[in-house]
Each structure stands twice: as C-alpha cells, then as structure tokens.
C-alpha cells in the first residue's frame, strides 16, 4: 500500500499543475494546514531535479506569504480564529510560552523554529498575537523558510538519483521516521 501511494505521489509530482498545488499547500501550512509542504516538495524535486530550485522558490514565497496571513490571524483575530486553530492542534497554551520567547530571544525564535518540524503556523500566529515586529518577522521568515526549502532542493539535486533509490529501497523506514518527526514536532509544542 505504501509503495502504491509513493508511486502515485511521484506521478502527481510530475503533473503540470503540481507547482501551483505546492504553492497552495505551502501557503496554507504557514497559517492553518497541518501537512508540511515537504510532503510535496521532496517528491517533486525527486521527480524533476532540474526544477528543484524553482520548487524551493515557490515554497519559500508562498510560505512567507502564508506566514503573513498567520501573523495577521494572531494579531487581529486571535480570539475568533487563532485560539481555535491552536486549540485544534493542542497548543492553546503555547501563546504565553512563545510570547515569553519572543521577548527574550526575538528573531532567534523564528529562525530556529522555521527550520524544525514544529508546525510553522504556531510560530506565525504566536508572532502576530505577541505583536512581534512585522518587519523582523518577515525578514526572518524569508531567511528560515528559504534556507529550509533551498537546502532540501540542493540535497535532492546533489544526491537525487541515489537519494531516490535509497528512499525507494527503504520506503517503510523513511515513512516511519518522517511520521515520528512530524508527530514529535507537535508533541514538542505540548511540552514547551
């Protein structure tokens, strides 16, 4: 079943509308959607390594724009929208923690959290709710999201065929590690 799903995703990744869908997923993930764009970016880069940097650019731009929406949700719609979204992910109490972190470490919170499996939407919403500097938030988002997506694109371009072969031979292991990383990111926020 996992093999069939993987083959289907690789086929979809080569579709002509895949870049637009990647942009939608990347935008949504930064403000409300639970699945990270890496789930599309990696197969798309494996399918078309010659387009890896283009895909990373699409992810970066749409993630940052989605992050601005998340920031706006936190700043202007915290009670009506942000609190229910954070509660749905089990992070309703994370705002106080993130606010304290923004006051203490500022931009480092965005730079570090944007690279980790911790859901970026929590960072964007919390930054808005904490009324963190919008300019600093924007610059840090461009840096951290760009670094994450372009690093993935670079690694796949550099090690593409061997990486694809490795993934295909160890698909169950890769899927398990990925699931653990995503769940770990959500759980890490519970204990922060």
Determine the Cα–Cα distance for residues 22 and 115; give it in Å rounded to an integer: 18
- Residue 121: count other Cβ atoms within 10 Å of its Cβ: 27
The C-alpha angle with vertex 189 and arms to 188 and 192, in degrees rounded to 5, equals 90
The pTM (predicted TM-score) of the whole model is: 0.77
pLDDT in tens, 32-49: 777 788 888 888 888 888
DSSP alpha helices (H): ranges in 30-133? Answer: 38-47, 52-76, 83-88, 94-105, 107-113, 120-129
Output the CA torsion 170→172→174→179 (10° steps): 180
Per residue in 124-170, pLDDT tens?
888 898 888 999 999 999 999 999 899 889 988 888 777 667 766 66
The candidate with the shortest Cα–Cα distance to 50, out of 158, 147, 151, 148, is 158
């Amino acid at each position: 079943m996992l093999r069939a799903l993987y083959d289907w995703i690789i086929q979809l990744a080569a579709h002509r509308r895949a870049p637009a869908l990647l942009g939608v997923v990347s935008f949504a993930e930064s403000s409300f959607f639970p699945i990270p764009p890496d789930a599309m970016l990696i197969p798309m880069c494996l399918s078309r390594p010659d387009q890896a940097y283009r895909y990373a650019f699409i992810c970066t731009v749409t993630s940052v724009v989605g992050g601005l929406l998340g920031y706006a949700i936190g700043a202007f719609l915290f009670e009506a929208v942000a609190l229910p979204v954070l509660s749905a992910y089990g992070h309703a109490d994370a705002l106080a923690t993130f606010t304290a972190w923004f006051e203490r470490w500022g931009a480092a919170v965005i730079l570090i959290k944007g690279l980790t499996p911790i859901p970026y939407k929590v960072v964007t919403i919390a930054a808005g709710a904490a009324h963190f500097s919008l300019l600093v938030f924007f610059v840090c988002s461009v840096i951290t999201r760009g670094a994450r997506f372009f690093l993935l694109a670079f690694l796949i371009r550099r090690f593409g065929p061997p990486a694809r072969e490795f993934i295909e031979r160890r698909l169950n292991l890769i899927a398990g590690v990925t699931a653990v990383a995503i769940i770990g990111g959500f759980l890490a926020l519970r204990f922060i």
